[in-house]
Chain A
Amino acid sequence: MDILFVLIPLSVVLALVVLAGLWWAVYRGQFEDIEEEGRRIFEEDKE
């Protein structure tokens, strides 16, 4: 079970990395207009 001594700290680091990603997404406004993007797929493609 010694591998847990590596995996647990690794999971903390991974969690922090994911948090950083979420921070980027929130402050880029990714969550602000959720419906618009869904509608976009119904529109014609750009030529």
Chain B
Amino acid sequence: MESHLLSDTHSDEPQANPAWSILDTPEQWMRFSQTVGDEAQPLVESSLLLDGLRCAACSGTVERGLSGLPGIVSARVSMSKKRAVVVWSAELTQPSTILAAIQKMGYSANPASHNESQLNATQKNRAAFWRWLVAGFCMMQVMMYASPSYFTKTGEIETDIQLLLNWAAWLLSLPVMLFSSRSFFSNAWHDLKAKQISMDLPVALGIGITFVVSSAATFDPSGWWGDVVYFDSLTMFVFFLLSARLIEVKLHSKTLGAMEALVSRIPENTERQNADGSYTRVINSQLSVGDIVRVNTGEAFPADGLLLSGQTKVDESLLTGESTPIHKNQGEHVVAGSYNLGATVTMRLETLGESTQYGQIVQLINQAAIEKPRLSQLADRVARPFLFFILLSAVLSAVLLWEQGHGLALMTAAAVLIVTCPCALSLATPAAMLASASAFVKRGILIRHLQAIESIDQIDTVIFDKTGTLTDNHIAVKSLSVKDGLSEAQALAMASALASQSMHPIAMAVTYAAKQNPLANALSITLEQVEEQVGAGMQGRFEQRPLKLGSAAFCAVHSDQVQARDERYQQVYLADDSGWLATFNLQEAIKANTAQAIAALQQAQLDVELLSGDQWHTVKNTAALVGIKVFQAACSPNDKLQRLQGLKLQGKKVLMVGDGLNDGPILASAHVSIAMGKGVPLTLAHADYVLLNGDISEIPALIKHAKKTMRIIKQNIAWAVIYNAVCIPLAFFAWLSPWQAGLGMATSSLIVVLNALRLSQFSHSSVNSSKA
């Protein structure tokens, strides 16, 4: 009944895809399925990716709809994973029928190819969970056998019963020893073979010693190891350590969730057009430039390219920061990683994989995540001698206590080994910085180096570029005046012939103005030898005469030649060898919230300056509007560099904020830099941070968050140091039993990770105060 209704409401949806029929052969369906059931009744279990699931009720609808079909044994839909697992009989139905049925219900389904990395991840997660479960369960059971000795005096339990209890505890410690703690031993062994020493070595030694001492006490209670067993301690600290690691992994993947969501948004496969016009789903790695693909509603575009047919709305928010869906017509560009929201369209692929902006963002994120910041390198350097120190103190404590009892001496050594936590020390920095970086990504801020979090914490001066940074890229030509005898259309056409060769915002504005003018559009002007002089203008040759577009100095126009000089506007000139031809009056909009952002920076005791290549009066206007007192106009890139060097000599740490396109060298030489990522190829934006949405008001919040990150890193390091300073002596003087040591170490590393997790969101207070 319900599925009938649904199929009615969605009758305008595209009907069953004929290309699905190729999935109906066993070779094809085995790529996303596996055989289940027995020989008498062979069944196939397929996993499908579902699109269009909106709520839990949707998953019920699909499940019910599928279960009602002939040949389908069971259907399970997971809302969170957007996957369906369908078990069906190959004799009664086939994949294309199943896919068509789902399509009819108003959802779209695709075969989910077995993703190697995903399968591996599931396997790994299961193994880790199972190790932990074994340790936990055996710990509880071993504790049962140990508990009688907690409440009785020596000798109160009959010797043979005590022995039986010890044997039972030994038997259940074996899985913990041989299976659950295997990773500690194998890691320690790997590191030793590579002549390294890591955190796993003391842990493995501690576990090993405890097990040997306890086993000896079990089987030879009168021997010189003594008769005390520590199986309860052994299983307990293995369980604590594994719990800590499991939680760490969970928390870590939670923090990185935002990044992964970005990295994995492109579907694994795409519908490619065949020579006969039909479509086949292929894995993305088989796509090449020039292919024509069909992208359904709700899917992400697999590559950059041109829309060939249809018009749609796309969501480019993660790539450009533009939050409202953008309308795209036939012939317009779409970018990889943006979502197709409107309708099914076809596109021709132009740029694939890592050369797309999306690919670059993914690359940047991955790079930043593996890079080791300074503090974490420092921690690693400290950890090594520290571990040697621990091994030495363990030996020393054993030697000192040897006379009092061999078992006690060895167990004290084990406690010393286990209580140490350079883990907390080496986790302190990367955990916090990664959490922080993921918070940045959620706000549309990409970070190139984790080190930049520390750098931006130290700055005392902020220098802004003007165009494209404080002001919008959307500069518009407000009016123009031309020399007598020249029409506006001619002037526009000539100027845009020059300007179209440049990506400078002013040039783009001139080009745009010419496009809007039908008369100018009709004129076609061909230029020769067009070149750009950075920071000055464009020049070329038109009908054998030089033609220039740019600043007054560049065009060599004098104020007496120029008509209608207007202080309100920024102006560019068009000139040839006879002099002035036209003046374009441009006006640019200052970005929203800029004044507040600058006020927030000044409140935070930062010096704010404005350096611009534009004319004095426009720079002055802008500076006054946004509240910057120190500014310098008509700066060549060299002037800007010199100003930066001057500040550096004074010992200032400078944050440079630029558009990332025309100021690469300046950004690179600043202490730390932020580039606007809007409309700029990311590979060209050589900055430490890239603001994808170009929103200046994020900067105070960014700085605040970086400061908070550094504060938390310091807390973490302080905690690790204090913990070790207190606990190692305690263990050394035999005041800590091994299980207490294990608990201490597990909690101390968890505290570090939890503290770092506070950074995975921009706190509300930092956002509010930045806008206040």
Contact = CB atoms under 8 A, between A and B. Distances in A.
Nearest to A15: B141
B312 to A, nearest CB: 32
Q: Which of B78, B141, B158 is the most central at the interface, judged by chain A CB atoms within 10 Å of its CB?
A: B141
B80 A35 contact: yes
Contacts of B402: none
B133 interface: yes
Nearest to A28: B126
Contacts of A36: 78-80
Contact of B158 (A1, A19, A23, A35): A1
Contacts of A27: 126, 130
B592 interface: no
Contacts of B168: 8-9, 11-12
Contact of A23 (B125, B130, B138, B145): B130
Nearest to B60: A43
Interface string A1-45: 100110011011001001100110011010111011001001110
Nearest to A27: B126
A23 B127 CA distance: 10
B133 A26 contact: yes
A34 B579 CA distance: 77
B67 interface: yes
Contacts of A39: 56, 79
Interface string B365-408: 00000000000000000000000000000000000000000000
B138 A15 contact: yes
Interface in B66-106: 67, 78-81
A9 to B, nearest CB: 7
A43 B161 contact: no
B165 interface: yes
Contact of A46 (B67, B81, B134, B141): B67
Contacts of A29: 126
Given A4-B164, A33-B80, A46-B64, A15 B130 contact: no
A8 B138 contact: no
Contacts of A12: 141, 168, 171-172
A31 B129 CA distance: 9
B78 A33 contact: yes
Size category of the B interface is: 20 to 34
Contacts of B81: 33
B665 interface: no
B144 interface: yes
Given A1-B161, A31-B129, A19 B175 contact: yes
A18 B134 CA distance: 10
Interface string B37-81: 000000000000000000011001001100100000000001111
B80 A19 contact: no
A15 B145 CA distance: 12
Nearest to B64: A46
B137 interface: yes
Given A44-B60, A46-B64, A46-B67, A26 B78 contact: no
B137 A42 contact: no
Contacts of B126: 26-27, 29, 32
B129 A26 contact: yes
A18 B138 CA distance: 10
B108 to A, nearest CB: 21
A30 to B, nearest CB: 10
A32 B67 CA distance: 23
Contacts of B57: 43
A31 B250 CA distance: 14
Interface in B145-180: 145, 158, 161, 164-165, 168, 171-172, 175
Contacts of B172: 12, 15
B161 A4 contact: yes
B130 A26 contact: yes
B137 A19 contact: yes
A27 B129 CA distance: 10
Contacts of A42: 56
Q: Which of A11, A22, A26, A31 is the most central at the interface, judged by chain B CB atoms within 10 Å of its CB?
A: A26
A4 B67 CA distance: 53
A25 B2 CA distance: 35
A18 B588 CA distance: 73
A11 B165 contact: no
Interface of A: 1, 4-5, 8-9, 11-12, 15, 18-19, 22-23, 26-27, 29, 31-33, 35-36, 39, 42-44, 46-47
8 contacts: A11-B141, A12-B171, A12-B172, A15-B141, A19-B137, A22-B133, A29-B126, A33-B80
Given A12-B172, A15-B141, A42-B56, 14 more contacts: A4-B161, A9-B168, A11-B141, A12-B141, A12-B168, A12-B171, A15-B138, A18-B137, A22-B134, A27-B126, A29-B126, A32-B126, A36-B78, A46-B64
